[in-house]
Amino acid sequence: MAIGEFLTHVRRFVVDFVVGRVLSRDNADGASAAAERLDEPTAYYLLHRHDFGFEAAPIGQVILYGTSCGLSDRDLVQTWDLLSSPKATPAPAADEDEDSADEDADADSGDAGGATVKLKPWHQRQEKTLGFDAPGGRPVPLIDRIHRLMHLWKAGQQAQVDEYLDSHGLRQQELFKRVLQALIELAPAGGDERSILESLSNHIGVRIAKPESGALPLEFE
């Protein structure tokens, strides 16, 4: 095995471990196994959301995270529409302390001149094909399916929600429900995002069980 291929496998192993903990902090082993089956865009979305939320993230770190998930920064911005276009950090003021400027330069090394990007929230992902088709005929990521369902629910189209769930077999898909629950836990309490996700979760019958004697933290009806 070539060194590059080996490093790719190692990075994905680390991603699976971290994303597994995001999927279920109470049962990391079971969730890590689920993370291994997770598509790359959804794995990246959960990883980025967990570490940066919707705040500006340094492009250097984003590139590393993307590579670990088998995606380039171009993929994340243009192909999958998960990130905003990079924005450059404003240059320091001319009278800024020289030592401080040197420290900032060191901190930005490897971060493409301090450029930052932001993860797109569901309501900013407006592509008509979202949740229906994926670039190059690839499988539709779970994050795209969930965001499509959120748009439908927000619009009050419950019949279309049910049709989408049934036509794609999502009611019986454990991984889909794990990702949905992880997004609920990552969303701020009291916000529109969390309210919609919780409504969807209740609609499809996901309930959280108190972990007892090693039982799975998620139980599905």
pLDDT > 80? residue 71: yes
pLDDT digits (tens, 9 = 90+) for 77-92: 999 999 998 887 665 5
Can you tell me the distance from the alpha carbon of 124 to that of 122, in angstroms, rounded to the nearest whole number? 5
Cα separation of the two ends of the chain: 44
For residue 112, the Cα-to-chain-centroid distance in whole angstroms is 23
User: Residue 205 — very low, low, confident or very high, per pLDDT cuts 50/70/90?
Assistant: confident
Q: Which residue has better confidence, 209 or 23?
A: 23
pLDDT > 90? residue 145: yes
User: Residue 219 — very low, low, confident or very high, per pLDDT cuts 50/70/90?
Assistant: very low
Out of 115-119, 143-147, 187-191, 216-220, pick the least confident.
Answer: 216-220
Can you tell me the distance from the alpha carbon of 162 to that of 179, in angstroms, rounded to the nearest whole number? 18
CB 122 within 8 A of CB 184: no
Can you tell me the distance from the alpha carbon of 147 to that of 124, in angstroms, rounded to the nearest whole number? 10
User: Residue 221 — very low, low, confident or very high, per pLDDT cuts 50/70/90?
Assistant: very low
- Give the pLDDT confidence score for residue 165 in this predicted structure: 97
Q: Mean pLDDT of all residues in the chain?
A: 78
pLDDT > 90? residue 168: yes
Mean pLDDT across 148-161: 97
- Give the pLDDT confidence score for residue 213 in this predicted structure: 38
Q: What pTM value is reported for the model?
A: 0.75
pLDDT > 70? residue 107: no
Kindly give the pairing relationship between strand 116-117 and strand 206-208: unpaired
Can you tell me the distance from the alpha carbon of 112 to that of 110, in angstroms, rounded to the nearest whole number? 6
